[in-house]
Amino acid sequence: MATFPFDYPLARRSDHVDVFQSAKHGEVHVPDPYEWLEHDSEETDAWIDAQIKMTNQYLDQAKDREKLAKDFRESWNYAKVRSPPSRYRRLKQRDQFTVPIRQGDGRWYWSYNSGLEPQWVVRRTIGSELPDFNAVDLVQDELFFDGLNGSFASQENLLSEDKTWSIQQFSFSEDGNYFAYAGSDFQTIYVRQTDSPLCKNEDGSVPDFKQGQLEDEICFVKFSRIAWTADSKGFFYGRYPEHDSNTAEKSDKPGIQACLPSVRDKGQKLYYHRISSSQTTAHCIPEPGEDILVYEDPSNPDFRFEPYVTYDGQYLIMTTRFTGKRDQVYIGDLNADAALDKDLGVTWIKVEEKFEAEWKYLFNDGTKFTFHTNKDAPRKRIVSFDLSDSSFALTDVLPEENDATLVSASLFATDHVAVRYSRNVNDELYVYKLEGGSLVLVERVASDWLGALVPGETQHKDQPYFMTLASGFTSPGIVANYDMAKPQGQRWTVIREHVVPGLVPTDFICEQVWFTSKDETKVPMFIIRHRDTPLDGTAPAFQYGYGGFANSTNPRFLAAWLTFVKRYRAIAVNVNIRGGSEFGEDWHQQGVREKRLSEWLVDNKFASRGKIILNGASNGGLVVATCVNIAPEGLFGAAVAEVSVLDLLKFHQFTIGKAWISDYGNPSDPSDFDFIHPLSPLHNVPRHKTLPAMLFFTADHDDRVVPLHSFKYVAELQHTCAENPNPLLLRVQRKSGHGAGKTTEMMIGDMTDRYAFAAGVLDLKYYDD
């Protein structure tokens, strides 16, 4: 696979030009010859089909493809448990397992995959006792929801005929009687009664899908929580007006209906929906009928609203975001007269009107509210204020640390708080007690654990326990329960240990090292290697980074990394480049894109020059393309960029792109244009150097990072670098989005293509033992 054997599909170059304003040069005309790839058309579809055919032909010949597919299928084939979203947490696609959560009906619920099922199901306990997850058979549990694996394919109101629909968030009513669920990104919220499980009968027959399913269907929902009121009579949600891309059906063609130039997600409104009241007189038509409009801001159509109902059920908290993790905070009293009257709506108290900091509600005692925030605290702190005091003066409940970032906090046992800190990208977990308006340390938990310690949020503040997922780069992890009702020293109990077939944790070594950036900043990275990986400068390296939007890449278990490291005696590198939040908001604001770390790996004999494989997704894909553009020739051997942001001059014109101005700048601002244009991968493809083999993943239904980014960039690469000896390929996945909705087989296919491509172009040796 060292020499690329195919001719690239012809892509027409138009004379389209976009006009921008530069602070240095005035009016600037920027050619965009592949602007037509932004539009859904027969020409676009034909070009995509040709790319898919060529890429599949190339990948199918990878020498280790079948071996790697078998390896990944084996290492994925183990029982995985993860929690449903809690009151204040959404499900994340990358979650493999977290913790079960007890709902209002007294039962424990969790998402579950026995190994290779296409999609996750939801299971629950029969009674109120937490089951023994280490037992061979969970006799105390039952299947609650299995609407995604094809059992109901012949029925009306089908969720997933081809099994590519996945639940990305669901929320239980406070009394546990209702289960609201939705997919991602554009969603329809459905509601079921929890006394009617959606699964096959004991005799294998398939019940009526509609049994237990309410008529309530909430359409055009995106980037919104489902926040139930305390009386379980309804929930708050955010929705957008209908437009063509929101209603387009999935088709067998790749299609790019999410990236029409005229379409941007605008005009979200916050509504309240009463259960068993139709959203409209007929389901899913443009405007809600009986639902109550709670808030809108027509003058700011790009604002997004997140609803939260307080533990005591008295207040509705609305955080508003525009770009980045900075919030406005409004609070409304739900117990006020006619608070949810159709005409009157909620009367808001505006606590924070500026977009200066991130705010997360923790708990309240009447009008005294406690939040987790980075307001005047880059490494975050916990503060309180009195809603009845119009100054909303902040008082420290837990002050900012100088050398650790306060990642999360959650209330449990009425007056105790589980606090997670990150110190040098390793987690520390503490339990505090609320006394006299301050948090007093009770104890540190699991002090000998190196890696991630992720406590689950509690559904009810008086429950005396919280659960935690502990994992790391070489450890598939444990789930443990911390129970305040037990004596000190006996409170931490492991309820599940995960074992991954084909991978032995002791065969791998993980170490954290620090390299010096161009401006002398110390940047950490984790190096994971097999015990037989040579340290003589000959090993291949798989290098991953994200570096944006204050998202940290903390220690986490990835079976694919260990499989690659094992089979090719390689190293995997997780780089905590600036732009994340590993060291607080200052680290985020200093975001840069580094190539020096790759040179450090070579200089320190961890990796071989020309055998470094770059990988990143979303913002990380931008990092990959930028590094390839500016790196010295021959440093990288391969690059795999997934669902990437690549057109930095037009990203803000599509779907949710305007929210990224916080990190990328505003191309419409002349000063910002002057630093964005030289960085934009699409507009800086190098013309006179050999590029490494490159593979770009995108998805036809990605309405977050729309596929036009990859389409246009690959077209430009294939034109400008047509004689490049290494392949420059586009992989388009049909019926898929920004990582959500993929079946297990699709994810295994992703892993296989990613690593088989890199191993093939670098002609790496596969080790059978």
Q: Name the active-site residue from 184, 618, 662, 736.
A: 618
| Burial zone of 440 (CB within 10 Å; 0-12 exposed, 13-18 middle, 19+ buried) | exposed
Tens-digit pLDDT profile for residues 466-489: 989 888 999 988 889 999 999 999
The first and second tokens of residue 227, run together, are: 């926040």
pLDDT-derived band at 288, boundaries 50, 70, 90: low
pLDDT-derived band at 94, boundaries 50, 70, 90: very low
Residue 71 has pLDDT above 90, yes or no: yes
* Average pLDDT rounded to a whole number, residues 650-670: 85
E strand spans, 117-168: 121-125, 141-145
Q: Which of 624, 629, 656 is nearest to 642 (CA)?
A: 624
Q: Which of 440, 473, 485, 442 is nearest to 561 (CA)?
A: 473
| pLDDT number for residue 414 | 94
Give the lowest-confidence range in 390-399, 512-521, 648-657.
512-521
d(CA 650, CA 30): 11
| pLDDT number for residue 82 | 59
Q: Name the active-site residue from 146, 738, 750, 753.
A: 738
Q: Which of 410, 269, 272 is nearest to 334 (CA)?
A: 272
- Quote helix, strand, coil % in the chain, to nearest 5: 15, 30, 50
| pLDDT number for residue 387 | 97
CB 404 within 8 A of CB 421: yes
CB 641 within 8 A of CB 694: yes
Superfamily of domain 510-761: Alpha/Beta hydrolase fold, catalytic domain (3.40.50.1820)
Residue 553 has pLDDT above 70, yes or no: no
Indicate if 738 belongs to the active site: yes
d(CA 708, CA 696): 12
| pLDDT number for residue 198 | 80
* Average pLDDT rounded to a whole number, residues 488-517: 90
d(CA 96, CA 664): 30
| pLDDT number for residue 546 | 66
Residue 59 has pLDDT above 80, yes or no: yes
Its pTM stands at: 0.86
| pLDDT number for residue 56 | 95
Cis before 185? omega within 30: yes
Q: What percent of the chain has pLDDT over 90?
A: 51
Tens-digit pLDDT profile for residues 679-727: 899 999 999 899 999 999 998 766 667 899 999 999 999 999 999 999 9
The first and second tokens of residue 515, run together, are: 């390299």
3-state secondary structure at position 625:
helix
Q: Measured on CA atoms in the order 144, 145, 149, 155, is the torsion positive or negative?
A: positive
Tens-digit pLDDT profile for residues 292-319: 999 999 999 989 999 999 999 999 999 9
| pLDDT number for residue 8 | 96
Cis before 195? omega within 30: no
| Mean pLDDT over each residue of the chain, to the nearest integer | 83
Give the lowest-confidence range in 45-54, 56-65, 132-141, 751-760.
132-141
Indicate if 75 belongs to the active site: no
pLDDT-derived band at 660, boundaries 50, 70, 90: confident
* Average pLDDT rounded to a whole number, residues 444-451: 92
Element (DSSP H or E) covering residue 350: strand 348-352
d(CA 471, CA 429): 13
Q: Which of 166, 84, 168 is nearest to 741 (CA)?
A: 166
Residue 461 has pLDDT above 70, yes or no: yes
Q: Measured on CA atoms in the order 67, 70, 74, 76, is the torsion positive or negative?
A: positive
d(CA 581, CA 590): 10
Residue 247 has pLDDT above 50, yes or no: no
CB 539 within 8 A of CB 509: no
d(CA 484, CA 478): 19
3-state secondary structure at position 238:
strand
| Antiparallel, parallel or unpaired: β 541-545 and 612-617 | parallel
d(CA 734, CA 700): 5
347 CB neighbour count, 10 Å cutoff: 11
* Average pLDDT rounded to a whole number, residues 625-645: 91
Indicate if 618 belongs to the active site: yes
| pLDDT number for residue 251 | 36
> Which residue in this structure is represented by tokens 């200066």?
356
The first and second tokens of residue 650, run together, are: 């037009």
Residue 182 has pLDDT above 50, yes or no: yes
Residue 91 has pLDDT above 60, yes or no: no
Tens-digit pLDDT profile for residues 403-434: 999 999 999 999 999 999 999 889 999 999 99
| pLDDT number for residue 338 | 56
Contacting residues for 136 by C-beta, under 8 A, at least 6 apart:
none
| pLDDT number for residue 147 | 59
CB 485 within 8 A of CB 462: no
Residue 3 has pLDDT above 60, yes or no: no
Tens-digit pLDDT profile for residues 8-46: 999 999 999 999 999 999 999 999 999 999 998 999 999
E strand spans, 96-212: 101-102, 108-113, 121-125, 141-145, 169-172, 178-182, 187-193
Q: Which of 615, 629, 647, 600 is nearest to 546 (CA)?
A: 615
* Average pLDDT rounded to a whole number, residues 51-65: 94
CB 409 within 8 A of CB 420: yes
* Average pLDDT rounded to a whole number, residues 370-380: 96
The first and second tokens of residue 139, run together, are: 């006799």
Q: Name the active-site residue from 32, 64, 327, 702.
A: 702
Residue 291 has pLDDT above 70, yes or no: yes
